[in-house]
A and B are shown apart, each in its own frame.
Chain A
Amino acid sequence: MDLNYTPRQQAFRAEVRAWLKDNLPAEKLASYDTREGFEQHREWERKLFDARLSMVMWPEELGGRGCDLTEWLIFEEEYYGADAPMRVNQNGQLLLGPTLMEFGTEEQKKRFLPRMAASDDMWAQAWSEPNAGSDMAAISSKAISDGDHYVINGQKTWSTRAIYADWAFGLFRSDADSKRHHGLSFLMVPLDAEGVTIRPIKALNGKDAFAEIFFDNVRVPVENRIGEEGSGWHVAMATAGFERGLLLRSPARFQQPVRKLVELYKANREAADRDPSIRDAVMEVWAGAESYALSAYQSVGRLARGEKIGAESSINKIIWSELDLKIHETAMRILGARGELLSSAPQNQDDHGWLEGFLFAQAGPIYAGANEIQRNIIAERMLGLPKA
């Protein structure tokens, strides 16, 4: 055990910190759940890519730096510590990217990964369907083989920012007679293809944050399939693992709002201390974010030693989603009667955007596999309890 950063790691931290200081947008970007904000974020991603900072863990030939996971954690700490913009293409970069690297052909990697790193292509997920949410194996959208194409019919939903995105990836039933997790294939679909209709769904924040995607005889070439025909479930499970695991929600993403929460508490201490449980909650989320960070470094060390991270990633998902909720609930309690005010309201004093974060935090325990499902996974796969 050695809990010191190497000189190389320290130098990398300093480089990232300096670059961010010189290059951060002067003004806060508009919300990436709007068309304007989405394009602003795409420009920012391009800037990161040009500095080879968009995907630091990817190999150099794909525009990355070949960083290891520790360096990635350092990058994330500097990135979120500097209040840099939210990452708009994470569904592609962090979910599909690693899937392509593991299961994609060389041709697919060359075709999709560099454009993904540069955010020339923006990606949306197409997993859920109206009748396949937590029960993803109930997918019924079909992709039936027709020569060198698949013909897709069906409906996907809860596709984050799909109305702005260029591509979607997801699971489709390629064997019409198959059941459950058999007979599914993992496909990438251009969202401007003929027969694709995207209808926005207004989210809790009033913005078109996600969408339904309708497929009406959409023809997709066979080379857009990842993995073997019918092996989509296996490929998708690996993707779900990446999602629940570290990559999508690095600890820094929670340590930064905790720092701001402590500042908010200290600035409003007299009012906040009328309810001693507020101070307690601030301390609790501080400890929660720190233990999430410690756990991340521990996982990184274990992976470097060749160990595998299995069902523990379900614990991660529960921890960060409930932590995020508690951070924002506590902030709202400190803001008190001012908390309800939108940023446009003249009397709004919430310059961090706690209200917006509070709304988004409501989704955390639901998306990426509802926390009830995660608890089942922990009980069945980690503890070995029998299935219902």
Chain B
Amino acid sequence: MDFTFTDDERAFQDAISRFLMTEAAPEALREIWETDAGRSPDLRNKMAEQGLTALSIPEEAGGLGMGDVVWSLMTQELGYYGIPDSLADTAYVSAGLIAALPEIVADRNGWLEQIAEGSIRIAVGHPINPLVADAHLADFSLLNHEGEIHAVPRSLIDVEHNASIDSSRRLCRVMWEPSSATRIVDAETGAPIWEEALNRGALSVAGQLLGLAQRMLDLSVDYVAQRKQFGKPIGSFQAVKHHLADVASKIEFAKPVLYRAGYSLQHGDADAALHISQAHIACAEAAHLAARHGIQVHGAMGYTWEVDLQMFMKRTWALESSWGDRAFHKARISAAIFADDAPLGPGQTFGRS
């Protein structure tokens, strides 16, 4: 029993954090988001050079062979720095989906290598999400037709753009015709793969939400330490302190829930779906509270376009219903804990004993 990360894992997280701090500063993100495509090939290439796109690709396909546990650290960094959807969707969710495909799918290994190199963008159209993020830019999209998995090249897709309150989001309704040429696996083979993709997508969102929560907390702490009223920093007032202490508490107690969910998914735990829904809810609650209390302690400045808090609040509001809304995840928890064989009581936390 050892519920900690290795020094290497932590060092990797630190390296990615330092890299994104310089390359993905809020000013730079604002510029990128104002472009039509909303994405920067330059930033994307640099992230590939850092190994981010190769993280979960098996070593034989040119990747680093890491799993969901390490991704639970990485997705927090993506959230903290407000990195747009396409990176996690390609390098994490799609990579997992493609790795789960049977070897018989001819392009499987080639795709994995391309993900590792950072030379490809892949969008995922899971039915749980009404729209497909970044389908306009993706080289191809993995789409669901009656449970089958289709790999549909950009040229065979029409997209209708749907603007989001989160300027970093590029959501598309995709119009396409399923055919035997686009189908890569049938519905029977596809079912568990879609299920795992959903879990991985939900975990990816959970990690990003936790990173967003930490970013909003940090921005708020900086602000209340500087802003003075009544001759003192407002951060010295107890009402303000308690708002932020509550956010810190939510974050601290969501972390281990996220990490355990990553571990369960990586190791095929029978309760992985339950653990992931727990993580989605815990991280969404932390981020939601960080946004609410964050804007409150920023006062009117928090309601402006100019102050960076808005970028992270809006991303929170967008992501908290992504890859399963609260109702979906609560229904999964409810089904598990009110079942006759529910894992309840002391000693059940890490598997039924």
Report how far A374 CA is from B1 CA in the complex, Å.
Answer: 30
**Residues in A neighbouring B353, C-beta threshold 8 A:** 5, 13
**Residues in A neighbouring B252, C-beta threshold 8 A:** 295, 312, 315
**Residues in B neighbouring A258, C-beta threshold 8 A:** 344-345
Q: How large is the interface on B (under 10, 10 to 19, 20 to 34, 35 or more residues)?
A: 35 or more
Q: Tell me how many residue pairs across A and B have CB atoms closer than 8 Å.
A: 175
Report how far A347 CA is from B139 CA in the complex, Å.
Answer: 70
The chain B residue sitting closest to A261, CB to CB, is B344
Q: Is the CB of A76 within 8 A of B342?
A: no
- Secondary structure at chain B's binding surface: helix, strand, loop or mixed? helix
The chain A residue sitting closest to B344, CB to CB, is A259
Q: Is the CB of A76 within 8 A of B4?
A: no
Nearest CB on A from B78, distance (A): 20
Mask for A352-388, Cβ within 8 A of B = 1, else 0?
0000000000000000000010111011101111111
Nearest CB on B from A256, distance (A): 6
B41 within 8 A of A: no
**Residues in B neighbouring A383, C-beta threshold 8 A:** 217, 221, 241, 244-245, 248
A2 within 8 A of B: yes
Nearest CB on B from A247, distance (A): 16
**Residues in A neighbouring B112, C-beta threshold 8 A:** none
Among B5, B221, B257, which residue has its beta carbon within 8 angstroms of that of A1? Answer: B5
B211 within 8 A of A: no
Nearest CB on B from A262, distance (A): 6
Nearest CB on A from B14, distance (A): 16
A3 within 8 A of B: yes
Q: Is the CB of A2 within 8 A of B337?
A: no
| Stretch of A22-30, A94-102, A300-308 that contacts chain B | A300-308
**Residues in A neighbouring B278, C-beta threshold 8 A:** 287, 290-291
Q: Is the CB of A279 within 8 A of B334?
A: yes
Among B217, B260, B344, which residue has its beta carbon within 8 angstroms of that of A262? Answer: B344
Most A CB contacts (10 A, CB to CB) among B217, B281, B334, B347 go to B347
Nearest CB on B from A96, distance (A): 26
B322-353 at interface with A (beta carbon < 8 Å): 330, 333-334, 337-338, 342, 344-351, 353
Mask for B241-270, Cβ within 8 A of A = 1, else 0?
110111011001111110110010001000
Report how far A319 CA is from B254 CA in the complex, Å.
Answer: 12
Q: A3-B263, A262-B337, A286-B337 are in contact. Are A372 and B1 (CB under 8 A)?
A: no
**Residues in A neighbouring B5, C-beta threshold 8 A:** 1
Report how far A385 CA is from B242 CA in the complex, Å.
Answer: 11
The chain A residue sitting closest to B264, CB to CB, is A3
Q: Is the CB of B257 within 8 A of A384?
A: no
| Stretch of A45-53, A77-85, A338-346 that contacts chain B | A77-85
Q: A13-B353, A300-B3 are in contact. Are A283 and B346 (CB under 8 A)?
A: no
Q: Is the CB of B2 within 8 A of A2?
A: yes
Q: Is the CB of B347 within 8 A of A13?
A: yes
Among A1, A266, A372, A382, which residue has its beta carbon within 8 angstroms of that of B4? Answer: A1
**Residues in A neighbouring B256, C-beta threshold 8 A:** 291, 294-295, 297-298
Nearest CB on B from A21, distance (A): 14
Q: How large is the interface on A (under 10, 10 to 19, 20 to 34, 35 or more residues)?
A: 35 or more
Among A1, A2, A304, A385, which residue has its beta carbon within 8 angstroms of that of B241? Answer: A385
**Residues in B neighbouring A300, C-beta threshold 8 A:** 3
Report how far A157 CA is from B217 CA in the complex, Å.
Answer: 39
Q: Is the CB of A305 within 8 A of B233?
A: no
Report how far A78 CA is from B267 CA in the complex, Å.
Answer: 26
A70 within 8 A of B: yes
A164 within 8 A of B: no
Q: Is the CB of B345 within 8 A of A81?
A: yes
B235 within 8 A of A: yes
Report how far A376 CA is from B262 CA in the complex, Å.
Answer: 33
**Residues in A neighbouring B3, C-beta threshold 8 A:** 1, 3, 294, 297-298, 300-301
| New contact pairs (7) apart from A2-B2, A282-B337, A387-B236, CB-CB < 8 Å | A4-B350, A291-B282, A294-B349, A298-B255, A375-B238, A379-B245, A386-B225
Chain B residues close to A by CB (< 8 Å): 1-6, 69, 217, 221, 224-225, 232-233, 235-238, 240-242, 244-246, 248-249, 252-257, 259-260, 263, 267, 278, 281-282, 330, 333-334, 337-338, 342, 344-351, 353
For this complex, 10 residue pairs linking A to B, each with C-beta atoms less than 8 Å apart, are A3-B267, A77-B347, A81-B346, A283-B337, A286-B344, A290-B349, A294-B257, A298-B4, A312-B252, A388-B238
